[in-house]
Amino acid sequence: MFCFARSDFFEDHQPLKPFKSHGIKVAFYGYYYPSRYADLIDDEQRAFCCSLYQFKEGENHGIEFFKACMSVLNLADAPYHILFMPCSDEFKYARRFKRLDWYITTHRPDLSSGLYDVDVFESRDSLHEAKGGENRILERNYRITGNIEGKQIIIVDDVLTSGQSMADYKEEIERCGGKVVAAIFYGKTVTRPPLLLIKAHVWGGCIVNKIKELTK
């Protein structure tokens, strides 16, 4: 589909170009296309989505995504503390982020990992499968048990959709004394633009091409 072939045109934000959302500086690695659009995307887009699924399952360590997004944030030199977005259960949380935790603790002296600052104490439904969009209320199945008082926090998560989960997590982090300065995501969910906007772009392109032909 044309709108997915030109996501860079129809989307408000571009990969690895930081922007503000809910008062947080945000960067993401690439566009995520939900599985219902699998037949409408090309091989490169499908491969990226596959790598994101592998990250969610703990099969892809995510180090390249992490390094790329961190490099474009252009944050001032300071010790930053990484907090990972709690998952629907403790097993998924550890599986998804344990290798990034290893990378941070062994290769990034400028950062500290907060993998064990969060206790995911019970299971809940997956947020990406829940209905209600931006109006839903995040069911907190976690508690922050580590001492994050006064720390500058960067949130790491797999997918940015509405940003509500990020905003809810920011609220809880700051209630515990931390200060959220940025958030990075492996992917950002694309939004399907209104049909009228797609038609206007296509028709506009056709008109421009016709004018060029007539003025040759």
Place of tokens 């699998």: 38
Q: What CA–CA distance (Å, rounded) separates 142 from 157?
A: 15
Place of tokens 């509500």: 164
Is residue 191 very low, low, confident or very high in pLDDT (cuts 50, 70, 90)? confident
Structural domains counted in the chain: 1
Question: pLDDT tens digits for 77-118?
Answer: 889 999 999 999 999 999 999 999 999 999 999 999 999 999
List the structure tokens of 115: 């993998």
From residue 74, give the alpha-carbon distance in Å to each of 69, 71, 95, 179: 10, 6, 29, 17
Is residue 129 very low, low, confident or very high in pLDDT (cuts 50, 70, 90)? low
State whether residue 177 is helix, strand or coil.
coil
Q: Which domain holds residue 118?
A: 2-214
Burial class (CB in 10 A: 0-12, 13-18, 19+), 127: buried
Question: pLDDT tens digits for 196-216?
Answer: 544 454 444 454 455 555 565
Predicted pLDDT of residue 83: 99
Is residue 139 very low, low, confident or very high in pLDDT (cuts 50, 70, 90)? confident
- Which residues touch 55 (CB under 8 Å, ≥6 apart)? 61, 62, 65, 96, 158, 186
Q: What amino acid is encoded at 41 in this protein?
A: I
If you average pLDDT over every residue of the chain, what do you get?
A: 86
Predicted pLDDT of residue 208: 43
187: left (phi over 0), alpha (psi -120 to 50) or beta: beta
